[in-house]
Amino acid sequence: MAVVAERAFTSRSTLQKVEAGDTNVSIGIYAGVLQALGLLDGLSQIADIGNDPVGQALASAELPKRVHFKRTAGSSRDG
């Protein structure tokens, strides 16, 4: 535990908070711990919308069903 805390540039007590899932610990500390454990590459997967089918469905439901474009004064349908 001391080695991981040292490599993550944090204290052992903060590392214990990370292990407990304390939400008051900053994301930077979590990133430091992941780096110390060689797991930092997995952090990019957390924010990948491709891994969140529920989020995709919710975002799609919020999209408008139709889009109406405003015509400018000089435009016409004939081009």
Q: What is the mean pLDDT of each run of 10 residues along the chain (79 residues)?
A: 93 96 94 92 80 90 84 65
Supply the pTM of this predicted model.
0.57
Rounded CA-CA distance 21/40 in Å is 17
Rounded CA-CA distance 3/5 in Å is 5
* Sequence spans of domains, the chain: 2-62
Nearest Cα residue to 18 out of 7, 32, 38: 32
Rounded CA-CA distance 32/12 in Å is 13
